[in-house]
Structure 1
Amino acid sequence: MKLRSLLFVPADSDRKIAKADACGADALILDLEDSVVPGRKAFARDAVKSLLGAASRNWRFLVRINPLGTGLTLEDLVAVVRPGLDGIVIPKVNGVQEVERISHYVDVLEVATGIPSGHVKLLVVATETPAAMLGFASYVTACPRLVAMTWGAEDLSAALGALTNKEPNGDWTFPYQVARAQCLFAANAAGVLALDTLYSDYRDQDGLAESCRIARRDGFVGRIAIHPDQVATINACFTPSDADLAHARRVIAAFASQPDVGTVGIDGKMYDIPHLVAAKRALASVGEVIDE
């Protein structure tokens, strides 16, 4: 599943959904959780159901449900797990056990609604509770539906009673640097996509681009957007350039020409197996198949 950019959209706002439709995001996350007040949850579910039955679209259809413990999770799932849905975003999980529980619910609902088994994928916001921060190792054996993990600082900050989660220069304070790193490690250990959290100042395109550059440098493959204007920047930052792809092909070709060696030289520089892995990942990110 290609997920460079994932744009949150309140599920109860027709205007915002219409604006998001053509923004170029790889996925829209129709939100039933924080952006929808309690009195409009039922309306938002009905809006999602109507949109799922609408014409074809050029983005992945994801829905963020309300977390376990709210008493709303099952109602959300029953309303939205139907043909047209690509995935569920699970917020405020306390650990992989809750992911497995929701996966079992989806198993049943896929059968009930005629969706092919395993089609609906799961994406986890993995750092929003203190308990979640203690169980990352368990994601190594996560369910097959899990395709991506992201992290969030605001709910964790509130749960910890932190006065702020940012340094004066805008950098994350240490606890949230840990959360970000743990998410990145856990996603890669589980073999799923690591997605960086949102960049809150949607007017600061330069800051967003620099933050994306750092995220990609560190190993994230996409990120959450909170405004349509952020999507183009995120897509550009997480898409390998033509030069990047050309270099990746050279690395792969060099190793293919010398299958019995662990290092190769290109333009006076030495490349080893981790460089080969990175080259294959770059080409895979644009759908280029690598013959083994």
Structure 2
Amino acid sequence: MSSRLSGSSGFDVGPTLLFCPADRPERYAKAAERADAVIIDLEDAVAADDKPAARQHLHGHLEALAAPEAEALRRRTVVRVNPAGTEAFDADVEHLAGAGAALVMLAKAESVDDVAAAAAAFPAAGIIALCETAAGVSRAEQIASHPQVVALMWGAEDLIASIGGSSSRRPDGLYRDVARQARTQVLLAAATHGAAGIDAIYADIDDAEGLAAEAADAVGSGWAAKACIHPAQVPVVRQAYAPSAEDLEHARALLDEVPRHGGAFRFRGAMVDMPLVRHAEQIVRRAEAAGDA
């Protein structure tokens, strides 16, 4: 299942992206089966000593995905590489640059120059820039302006660490103000340049209720997808992105009325103008992506 929920160019997977450590090749296929896309991670999920073997595993996997019958899976496989300017990034490029990755996630992107380095190394790939430091968030719009960027993702924990904090969330589980600002800033930067926005992971795997609330907010705010760190999170996020029967009926009925009016009109007790029409169109698109329309 895939959806194209934004004006992005080159990003058509979602709404669930599931992380998988690159040093666990036996999990690659399982992760891809359970989510709409798999992020095979060469950065934080893999210890430094294990990265060389992980690169070899991933190279072999990408070569296998070059077969015509594997094209659909290749297009929903994301490779997360290490930050530009690091030895680990250089090693990632050396092993994977010609392996045919369709989507490359650049960890800790902090400037358009970082993106340019990834784009030069992977010229045929869409770049997902991960804005997860103070510099990356502050320059999110510049980063999103690179023509090879198809999506921006943000990350709370690395961001807080980069500014000297110790927790991205308050005791009630909600984000602290600085994290909320960063989340908003990255989403607006992505939308400004026609890129998709990918919402950060929810670290508490056992808190399905909290994840559901955050995913629902992501849907309402316009995030095209949300990253997951455990397969159990995938159905929760999918449920949030699938409109309820009531919302879908309302959206369809509203859209049926549009051709009968020349401008704003009254519908079921509310005034409807073009922004609300666009909201209804988004609901129908999400239903179609979920297979409910």
**When the two structures are superposed, what TM-score results if normalisation uses the length of structure 1?**
0.84
Deviation at 1:267, TM superposition (A): 1.7
Once residues 186 and 140 of structure 2 are traced to their aligned partners in structure 1, the CA distance between those partners, rounded to angstroms, is: 8
Structure 2 equivalent of residue 22 of structure 1 = 33
Counterpart mapping for 1:175-194 below 5 A: 175-194=178-197
Structure 2 equivalent of residue 215 of structure 1 = 218
Structure 1 equivalent of residue 7 of structure 2 = none
Once residues 164 and 196 of structure 2 are traced to their aligned partners in structure 1, the CA distance between those partners, rounded to angstroms, is: 30
Counterpart mapping for 1:129-140 below 5 A: 129-139=133-143
Once residues 169 and 242 of structure 2 are traced to their aligned partners in structure 1, the CA distance between those partners, rounded to angstroms, is: 28
Structure 2 equivalent of residue 12 of structure 1 = 23
1:155-212 deviation line (CA, Å, top 9, x unaligned) = 1222211132221211111211111111121111121211211111112212211121
Deviation at 1:280, TM superposition (A): 2.5
- Structure 1 residues 275 and 81, CA, compared in 2 at 3 Å: closer, same or farther? farther
- Structure 1 residues 256 and 80, CA, compared in 2 at 3 Å: closer, same or farther? farther
Once residues 257 and 97 of structure 1 are traced to their aligned partners in structure 2, the CA distance between those partners, rounded to angstroms, is: 50
Q: Is the 8 A contact 2:19 2:228 kept in 1?
A: yes
- Structure 1 residues 161 and 203, CA, compared in 2 at 3 Å: closer, same or farther? same
Structure 1 equivalent of residue 121 of structure 2 = 105
Q: Is the 8 A contact 1:89 1:125 kept in 2?
A: yes
Structure with more contact order per residue of length (Cα contacts < 8 Å, sep ≥ 6)? 2
Once residues 41 and 79 of structure 2 are traced to their aligned partners in structure 1, the CA distance between those partners, rounded to angstroms, is: 6
Deviates further, 65-74 or 80-89: 80-89
Structure 2 equivalent of residue 115 of structure 1 = none
Structure 2 equivalent of residue 114 of structure 1 = none
Structure 2 equivalent of residue 70 of structure 1 = 86
Deviation at 1:49, TM superposition (A): 1.6
Q: 1:252 aligns with which of 244, 247, 255?
A: 255
Q: 2:56 aligns with which of 30, 46, 55?
A: 46
Q: 2:238 aligns with which of 230, 235, 243?
A: 235
Once residues 140 and 61 of structure 1 are traced to their aligned partners in structure 2, the CA distance between those partners, rounded to angstroms, is: 21
- Structure 1 residues 248 and 142, CA, compared in 2 at 3 Å: closer, same or farther? farther
Structure 2 equivalent of residue 61 of structure 1 = 77
Once residues 221 and 279 of structure 1 are traced to their aligned partners in structure 2, the CA distance between those partners, rounded to angstroms, is: 16
Deviation at 1:234, TM superposition (A): 0.9
Once residues 287 and 104 of structure 1 are traced to their aligned partners in structure 2, the CA distance between those partners, rounded to angstroms, is: 36
Deviates further, 44-53 or 226-235: 44-53
**When the two structures are superposed, what TM-score results if normalisation uses the length of structure 2?**
0.84
Once residues 139 and 246 of structure 1 are traced to their aligned partners in structure 2, the CA distance between those partners, rounded to angstroms, is: 39
Gapped regions of structure 2 (runs ≥ 5) = 1-11
SS state at 1:180 partner: helix
SS state at 1:185 partner: helix
Deviation at 1:77, TM superposition (A): 3.0
SS state at 2:79 partner: strand
1:125 equivalent to 2:126? Answer no
SS state at 2:38 partner: strand
Q: Percent identity between the aligned chains?
A: 31
Count of matched residue pairs: 272
CA RMSD of aligned residues (A): 2.2
1:72-93 deviation line (CA, Å, top 9, x unaligned) = 2233134334565320011111
Q: Is the 8 A contact 1:7 1:224 kept in 2?
A: yes
1:209-244 deviation line (CA, Å, top 9, x unaligned) = 112112222222321100111111111111233443
